[in-house]
Amino acid sequence: MGSLLGNYLFRWLIKQLQDRSEPIIVCIIYICGWSAILFVIAIFLFVFKESLPALTGIETEIAVGEIEVEQLDLGEFTTSPRWIPESAKKPAFGILALLVGTLSVTVFSILLAVPLGLGAAVYVSEFAGNKTREILKILIELLAAIPSVVWGFIGIVVMNPLITELSGEAVGLNILNAGIVLALMSVPIIVSVSEDALRAVPESFREAGLAMGANRWEMIYKVLFPAAKNGLLAAVLLGIGRGIGETMAVLMCTGHSVNMPTSLFDPVRTLTATIAAELGEAVRGDLHYHTLFLIGVVLFAFAFIINLTADLVVKGIRNQGNV
Amino acid sequence: MSKPNVNNPFAITANEVRSRKVERFVCFITLGMTWTLILPVLVILGFLFIKAWPALSVSFIFDNPEQNMTAGGIWGPLIGTFMLIIVSLLIAAPIGILAGVYLNEFARDNWFTRLINLAVVNLAGVPSIVHGLFGLGAFVYFFQMQRSLLAASCTVAVMTLPVIITSTKEALASVPQPFRVACWNMGASKWQTIRTIVLPNSISGILTGVILQVARAAGETAPILFTGAMISSRIADSGWASMVPYGLEDRFMALSYHLYIIATQWQNVPESFKYGTAIVMIGLVIAVNSVSIGFRIYLRSRKKW
Amino acid sequence: MVNLAQAWAEKYQAERSEITIEISGGGSGVGISSLTQGLADMANASRKMKAKEIRRAKKEFNLDPQEFTVGKDALAIYVHKDNPIEEITIAQLSAIYEEGGTTNTWTELGVTLAGTSNPKIVRISRQNNSGTYAYFRQHVLNDNDFKLGSIDLSGSADVVSMVEKTPGAIGYSGMGYATDGVKMVKVKLDDDSASVAPNAANVINGTYPISRPLLIYTPQTPTGTVKDYLDWILGKNGQTIIEEMGYVPLK
């Protein structure tokens, strides 16, 4: 009798706990749901906050009563190719060469990755049998898993000697090296997003095309590509985003040289590698330190614009009622 | 158009033959493109493995770096990476899973939800070094964690959040709506339904996403460069201290940072050690990803609906 | 000096089991910056702290950095082992490395390379957090800026291994990093002086033009465990390790 009572009491307690806690748990869920926005805003705010002193001026007292103000010259920042932040004579904070470095490596890698990636996506989606498709998708996913620093290592020990052997150039750390490595890194995401886009086109489109007498290839480029073009464009944009944001691989493969390149075989330096290589040395409160954060803001802005564009472009699918 | 063959109107015309040739040609080209992407990587991996072979042994994995990194193994960095993964997932998984629950179960289809989805996509695209800058500004300085395992784990957690959110969302979406409706009809509350039916049925999909991020956390270097990674310290060779050598407020060795240091900044490291470290890293992420892929296949075979 | 720090730490920790020494790297600049911000108990540097750095440490972080010379090193000029050049003047080095310097090919120096037909001088340099970089700039380039476009590597060992692989390269690094694949060029102050090879003897007797001190900075006057370690480094054990690593001990 007593144990039966105890049993009911226990169950009543548990139920009370569950009922009372439910609103708290739901509240936690809501907060977690909003956390993504919170973090994106937080990332921007913190990076921007740490970069502000570069823009507003840093005052340091050199001697009693004598105050020196260091401020970033935005004109120089955006137009000068001279990046000499720790100069003994006159520091220069121009990121033009770094920007060109980032863009040249990214553009070259996209030129390699997009045709190949698209071709692979077409094969996997349209020509491959089911078993082959599974295997290829797994292989490509494993490719995506290789860490960035390992790719950098590959660039140093494999690409470097390969390039010097085949081209007779003096050093193999250059745009070509980093571009090839970056292409191999971006390909998995281009293939998987393109393949998703192609798969998303309804079967009826394909059947209609084939029924009209087109062969597979004509059906692909006349029917599928236009239908999936938004998803394909998103894939390219994501690949570009990957290229711009990559740090370790380009740090190790580009030759890390502040340079306005004139050929594929010239070494360059990227924005990301500059931050990674120099942040440890910059003392907090130094113009160099805050300028590096400003470069972070620039990178964040690039990534944001690219992602926003990719997102809007993909939304275009739904709006046009294609798929 | 060539003249139809009056004897057999269904005979193959020259056009058709050409058409089929084009089709086969394109199939061949795209197959070639696929192999152009995969084959070099396999060859490179094979090359790395061969060069790493002299170094690979049980002691390489379980010994600490010795004699100025010229001998011994990679235990210190390996266990550091493990601890980083565990702590960062302990932070990221609950937040990410619950966020996915929110997005799929609670959020209404309005501009605010669209904004959240946009934020998730953007978070996924933030460059890893910017995550490092954020970690430095926020966790190391603002929250005063100083350079530590905790600061680095928080930074890595923020980095891995988007994929966990997205895969949770998709896993939950794959649970058929009738399951939920049946629960509600029986008088269950929303959270009760989620807790007892929806989550258990989508757990494999959720775990797939979480496991994928394990691999990413293991491989990234940029976020931990300034938030806690160090080159070396005394690591015990045996006992409890060798299994958990770093406290939350300690700096730690990590496999990715270790490879970067010995590949670019250290003298006299045997070549096979560098390749060996790279192979261990690759092996680690491939093993983890294979578990995730295996889960996906198991999930598909087990689905009863 | 990071390899040196590691060697010291390993030996010292083997002798004193209760002490743990944690090492982070990244160049003299990183060490000094960490010290200034109170994040390190000792900073190894191959260049002196700048006035600006000392001022910040004192003013903003209330520290009083102390400098200790623990050894010496020669900054060797490395070229590929097949490069026929034997000696070089400081002026020629400036013309190669300095911004505005006009020497860009080996032919201008009167050298024909063996392993390649490309006469371009491939300048290997260090990233700007390196003390080696700062020292070279101060003593060879007279504080003028480096010519942009050099390949900026992250470690002393890196420079030598790059020069090993590149027939047309020139680079500067500590003499302790020499390998069989490179040649150290003798340096002359100007055309009329004798050319001096980088070795321990020439560093000690002061004839090698670009020799540098190896320094350790502490945030305050060292006490306790830090002082013990510093004394050990300055003592016989530490100095023996300096010699083993290819640097020059104090005596």
Adjacent-strand bridge partners of C215? C45, C69
Domain residues for the domain of A56 are: 2-71
The residue type of C205 is N
- Are residues A22 and B191 in contact, defined by beta-carbon separation less than 8 angstroms? yes
- Are residues B264 and A252 in contact, defined by beta-carbon separation less than 8 angstroms? yes
Please check the confidence at residue B1 and state whether its pLDDT lies above 60: no
Give the integer Cα–Cα distance in Å for A32 and B120: 12
Give the integer Cα–Cα distance in Å for B111 and C236: 72
Please check the confidence at residue B21 and state whether its pLDDT lies above 60: yes
Look at residue A150 in the predicted model and tell me its pLDDT. Answer: 94
Average pLDDT over residues C231-251: 89
Using the structure block, give the residue that is written with the tokens 């190896």.
Answer: C214
**What are B246-270's pLDDT values in tens digits?**
888 888 999 999 999 888 888 778 8
Q: What one-character-per-residue DSSP string does A7-61 give?
A: HHHHHHHHHHHHHHHHHHHHHHHHHHHHHHHHHHHHHHHHHHHHHHHHHH-EEEE
- Planar angle of CA A275, A279, A284, nearest 5 degrees: 135
Adjacent-strand bridge partners of C68? C216
Give the integer Cα–Cα distance in Å for A218 and A100: 39
Are B46 and B123 in the same domain? no
Half-sphere exposure of A76 (CA within 13 A, CB side): 15
Q: Do B265 and C24 touch (CB under 8 A)?
A: no
pTM: 0.89
Q: How many Cβ contacts (< 8 angstroms) between chains B and C? A: 53
Are B147 and B290 in the same domain? yes
Are A170 and A313 in the same domain? yes
Find the chain C residues whose C-beta atoms sit closer than 8 A to any C-beta of B. 2-3, 6-7, 9-10, 13, 20-25, 39, 153-158, 177
Are A267 and A201 in the same domain? yes
Average pLDDT over residues C61-82: 91
Give the integer Cα–Cα distance in Å for B282 and B259: 12
Are B157 and B235 in the same domain? yes
Contacts of residue C129, defined as CB under 8 A and 6 or more positions apart, other chains included, come to A86, A277, A278, A280, A281, C26, C27, C28, C29, C30
Band (B5; pLDDT cuts 50, 70, 90)? low
Question: Is A76 a member of any domain?
Answer: no
Nearest by CB to A259, from C134, C143, C149: name it.
C149
Q: Which residues of C touch B67 (CB under 8 A)?
A: 10
Are B30 and B76 in the same domain? no
Are B209 and B62 in the same domain? yes
Asked if A273 has any chain C CB less than 8 Å from its own CB, the reply is no
Are B14 and B72 in the same domain? no
Q: Residue C16, Cβ neighbours under 10 Å: how many?
A: 14
Give the integer Cα–Cα distance in Å for B137 and B128: 14
Q: Which residues of C touch B267 (CB under 8 A)?
A: 3, 156-157, 177
Are A55 and A167 in the same domain? no
Look at residue B268 in the predicted model and tell me its pLDDT. Answer: 78
**What are C17-45's pLDDT values in tens digits?**
888 888 888 788 888 888 888 888 999 99
Are B293 and B271 in the same domain? yes
Phi-psi region of B266 (alpha: psi -120 to 50; beta: other; left: phi over 0): beta
Locate the chain A residue with the closest alpha carbon to B164: A36
Structure tokens at C144: 């003028």
Give the integer Cα–Cα distance in Å for B55 and C243: 29
Among A150, A224, A298, A307, which would you mutate to test the B interface (most chain B Cβ atoms within 10 Å of its Cβ)? A150
Are A124 and A264 in the same domain? yes
Give the integer Cα–Cα distance in Å for B34 and B271: 32
Nearest by CB to B230, from C22, C156, C157: name it.
C22
Strand C43-45 relative to strand C211-218, pairing:
antiparallel
What pLDDT tens digit does each residue of chain A (323 aa) get? 678 898 999 998 888 887 788 888 889 999 998 888 899 999 999 999 999 988 888 877 766 777 777 888 888 888 888 898 888 788 889 999 999 999 999 999 999 999 999 999 999 988 888 898 888 888 888 888 899 999 999 999 999 989 988 887 778 899 999 999 999 999 998 998 888 888 888 888 888 888 888 888 888 888 888 888 888 888 898 889 888 989 999 999 998 889 899 988 999 999 999 999 998 888 888 889 999 999 999 999 999 999 888 888 776 644 554 44
Q: Which residues of C touch A61 (CB under 8 A)?
A: 59
Kindly tell me the sign of the dihedral angle through the C-alpha atoms of B118, B122, B125, B128: negative
- Are residues A42 and B119 in contact, defined by beta-carbon separation less than 8 angstroms? no
B66-70, B130-134, C50-54, C217-221, range with the lowest pLDDT: B66-70
Kindly report the average pLDDT of chain B as a whole number: 87
Give the integer Cα–Cα distance in Å for B204 and B222: 30
Domain residues for the domain of B90 are: 58-302
How many domains does chain A divide into?
2
Contacts of residue C227, defined as CB under 8 A and 6 or more positions apart, other chains included, come to none
How many domains does chain B divide into?
2
How many Å lie between the alpha carbon of C7 and the closest alpha carbon of chain B?
6
Are A194 and A267 in the same domain? yes
- Are residues B208 and B295 in contact, defined by beta-carbon separation less than 8 angstroms? yes
Give the integer Cα–Cα distance in Å for C134 and A88: 9
- Which residue from A252, A275, B265 is spatially nearest to C1, judged by alpha carbons? B265
Q: Which residues of C touch B132 (CB under 8 A)?
A: none
Structure tokens at B191: 């959270």
How many Å lie between the alpha carbon of B251 and the closest alpha carbon of chain C?
8
- Single out the residue in A38, A71, A104 at which a domain terminates: A71
Contacts of residue B301, defined as CB under 8 A and 6 or more positions apart, other chains included, come to none
The residue type of A186 is S
**What are B80-121's pLDDT values in tens digits?**
999 999 999 999 999 999 999 999 888 888 899 988 988 998
Are A46 and A8 in the same domain? yes
Strand C87-89 relative to strand C169-174, pairing:
unpaired
Nearest by CB to A304, from B122, B142, B263: name it.
B122
How many Å lie between the alpha carbon of B138 and the closest alpha carbon of chain A?
6
More confident of the two residues A126 and B5: A126
The length of chain C is 251
- Planar angle of CA B34, B38, B43, nearest 5 degrees: 145
Average pLDDT over residues B158-181: 89
Q: Do C2 and B231 touch (CB under 8 A)?
A: yes
Look at residue A323 in the predicted model and tell me its pLDDT. Answer: 42
- Single out the residue in A20, A38, A71 at which a domain terminates: A71
Q: Residue A318, Cβ neighbours under 10 Å: how many?
A: 10
CATH assignment at residue A193: 1.10.3720.10
3-state secondary structure chain B: CCCCCCCCCCCCCHHHHHHHHHHHHHHHHHHHHHHHHHHHHHHHHHHHHHHHCCCCCHHHHHCCEECCCCEECCHHHHHHHHHHHHHHHHHHHHHHHHHHHHHHHHCCCCHHHHHHHHHHHHHHHCCHHHHHHHHHHHHHHHCCCCCCHHHHHHHHHHHHHHHHHHHHHHHHHCCCHHHHHHHHHCCCCHHHHHHHHHHHHHHHHHHHHHHHHHHHHHHCCHHHHCCCECCECCCCCCCHHHHCCCCCCCCECCHHHHHHHHHHCCCCCCHHHHHHHHHHHHHHHHHHHHHHHHHHHHHHHHCCC
Q: What is the largest CA-CA distance in chain C?
A: 59
Question: Is A87 a member of any domain?
Answer: no
How many Å lie between the alpha carbon of B176 and the closest alpha carbon of chain C?
53
Identify the DSSP state of A155. I
Strand C66-80 relative to strand C43-45, pairing:
unpaired
- Single out the residue in B26, B52, B78 at which a domain terminates: B52
Are A148 and A201 in the same domain? yes
- Which residue from A110, A144, A119, A108 is spatially nearest to A236, judged by alpha carbons? A110
Look at residue B304 in the predicted model and tell me its pLDDT. Answer: 65
Q: Do A282 and C128 touch (CB under 8 A)?
A: no
The length of chain B is 305
Residues A243-263 as b/e (b if ≥16 CB within 10 A, e otherwise) read bbbbbbbbbbbbbbbbbebee
The residue type of C200 is A
- Classify residue A7 as exposed, middle or buried by CB count within 10 Å of its CB (0-12, 13-18, 19+): exposed
CATH assignment at residue B69: 1.10.3720.10
Are A65 and A118 in the same domain? no
